[in-house]
Amino acid sequence: MADLHFLANPARFRRFSQRVLPGLTFATVLGFAVGLYLALLQSPPDYQQGETVRIMFVHVPSAWLSMGGYALLAALGASLLVWRHPLAALMARAAAPVGACFALVCLLTGSLWGRPMWGTYWVWDARLTSMLLLFFLYLGHIALSRAYDDPDRGDRAAAILALIGVINLPIIKFSVDWWNTLHQPASIMRLDAPAIHPAILIPLLWMAASFLLLFILLVLVRTGTEIDRRRLEMADHLS
Amino acid sequence: MTGFLALLSRDLRLVWRRPGDVAVVLAFFVVATVLFPLGIGPQANILARIAAGVLWCTALFASMLSLDRLFAADHEDGSLDLLLLAPWPLELAALAKCAAHWIVTGLPLVVLAPLLGVSFGLPPEALIALAAALLVGTPTLSLIGGLAAALTLGARRGGALLALLALPLCVPTLIFGAAAIDTLMTGEDLLAHIAILAALALVALATTPWAMAAALRQAGE
């Protein structure tokens, strides 16, 4: 925790991220090179799903990161409201669109996978619906943080929204699960019903790790951009 | 508590002296609901099937529409600054504003919805279930909407943003509210649904006043 407080200073964070970024970029590229090789060439096609199972290697990590991203927004929101860390606001501003993109990638790849597997691009399945609602929560956060002339006000309003959203997410998830089981039987084949064979699990974990590195990389770069933008605005203000 | 009651009666008196504001919202509710049979067609079985969902959705929209001005008028004329300076908790003030909003828009919706339900061909016991579900569910809409109104106070494009923030958070209430009326067809327990709606209202009651007060303090800075 002390180290995190140390990084709360934007200038120190800038120096830290500039030291970390080259190595992180290299690790991300390497991770994707190995992960994509394992996922697209090395792993066997599924006996039921055929080659379409490879969509999962993009779909599942995006789903994990979009959920983790919202938890990150809530944690950043809490640290902004409690400690008033200036960096938390900038990082939340940087992370929200990244998380929203991962949620969108998850929805799009899921729908592309659903077309050959379920015979339709979209079903009102509980998981699909709660991911869609998570995407809407991200959109609300992005829109609110940019809706004010005074950026600080937008940051703090969005922080409150992220905290309320994270309390509500389990309730939304529960009610959507309940809603779906009432209206249609659980007829849909689930990926996770059988235990995943190592031949597929290992590429999946490689891809998940690579996506995590990509997420961190994007958030660090975008946070740097937000710091620069805020500085430019301040300079504009003073001149 | 006296402050709570004073603010509540002040808001109610303000509405009483300008009843047009509320009438417009209720008229919107009726007109929007009536559009659905016109768009879908007059088949009685389809209308009875979708009535619960349609009435809940239009009640939600009507509730959002009227929330836009919940704190804005006080913000503009300076009353909000006095509330911030008042010696009693801002959480209670926010709660009083939401309570006033619910009495003014939520309760009339509870009365109006069964009348509209008759035109959709709902059976009498479904009308009672509808009124009961709305009575327990609409406070949640006022509370979550009040939070969205506090968060968007002074923002650009406030109205549309308010709906974008509040609607996803209202999904649980919508699901259980509409399902409560379906229980008569599926043979499930109506009281269980009402109890979940009440639980959702209590969660909103326990969490949103703090968030509303935090948002209003920022708006006052």
Interface size between A and B, measured as CB pairs under 8 A: 76
Helical packing angle, A126-145 and A86-118, nearest 10°: 150
Q: Please judge whether B211 and A164 are an interchain contact, meaning their C-beta atoms are less than 8 angstroms apart.
A: yes
- B74-to-B7, B23, B62, B65, B70 alpha-carbon distances in Å: 12, 21, 21, 17, 8
Of A132 and A42, the structure prediction assigns the larger pLDDT to: A132
Residue A205: pLDDT over 50? yes
Tell me how far apart the alpha carbons of residues B110 and B99 are, in angstroms, rounded to a whole number. Answer: 15
- With cut-offs at 50, 70 and 90, classify the pLDDT of residue A4: low
CB A223 within 8 A of CB A94: yes
What is chain B's Cα-based Rg? 18
Closest residue in A to B169 (Cα) is A168
Nearest by CB to B218, which of A147, A153, A176?
A: A153
What are the C-alpha distances in Å from B70 to residues A123, B101, B154, B214? 37, 8, 12, 16
Domain range enclosing A176: 20-185+195-238
Q: Where are the domains of chain B?
A: 2-220
Closest approach of B16 to chain A, Cα-based (Å) = 32
A98-127 per-position pLDDT tens digit: 999 999 999 999 888 888 877 788 878 777
CA distance B136 to chain A (A): 17
A133 in any annotated domain: yes
CA distance B178 to B55: 8
| Contact predicate B71/B220, CB 8 Å | no
d(CA A94, CA A145): 11
- Per-residue pLDDT at A11: 82
Residue of B200, B218, B221 to mutate, interface with A, max A Cβ within 10 Å: B218
Chain B residue numbers touching A131 (CB-CB < 8 A)? none
Provide the mean pLDDT of chain B.
89
Token pair recorded at residue A98: 């990244």
Q: What digits encode the pLDDT tens for the residues A156-200?
A: 999 999 999 998 888 887 887 777 765 544 444 455 555 667 777
Give B72-128 pLDDT, tens digit per residue. Answer: 888 888 888 888 888 888 999 999 999 999 999 999 999 999 999 998 888 888 899
Identify whether A3 is part of a domain: no
Q: Whole-prediction pTM value?
A: 0.88
Point out the least confidently predicted range of A129-133, B156-160, B203-207: B156-160
Task: For residues A214 and A234, give the distance between their C-alpha atoms in angstroms, rounded to a whole number.
Answer: 30
How large is the greatest C-alpha to C-alpha distance in chain B, in angstroms? 58
Is the model's pLDDT at B218 over the cut of 70?
Answer: yes
Q: Which of B151, B171, B219 sits opposite A172 (nearest CB)?
A: B171
List of E strands, A35-172: none
Contact B167 A136 (CB under 8 A): yes
A160–B214 C-beta distance less than 8 A: yes
| ipTM > 0.85 (yes/no) | yes
The per-residue pLDDT for A182 is 58
Amino acid at A191: L
Q: Which residues of A touch B (CB under 8 A)?
A: 81, 133, 136-137, 139-140, 143-144, 147-149, 153-154, 156-157, 160-161, 163-165, 167-168, 171-172, 174-176, 178-179, 182
Domain count, chain A: 1
Cα torsion angle, A111, A113, A117, A119, sign: positive
Residues from chain B that touch A159, judged by Cβ atoms under 8 A, are none
Query: What is the pLDDT, as a whole number, of residue A188?
Result: 43
pLDDT higher than 70, residue A152: yes
Shortest CA distance from B180: residue in chain A: A179
Phi, psi of A50 (to 5 degrees): 65, -145
pLDDT digits (tens, 9 = 90+) for B187-200: 778 888 899 999 99
Asked whether residue A228 carries a pLDDT value surpassing 50, the answer given is yes
Per-residue model confidence (pLDDT) at position A189: 46
B176 touches chain A (CB under 8 A): yes
More confident residue, A46 or A23: A23
Answer whether B161 touches A (CB < 8 Å). Answer: yes
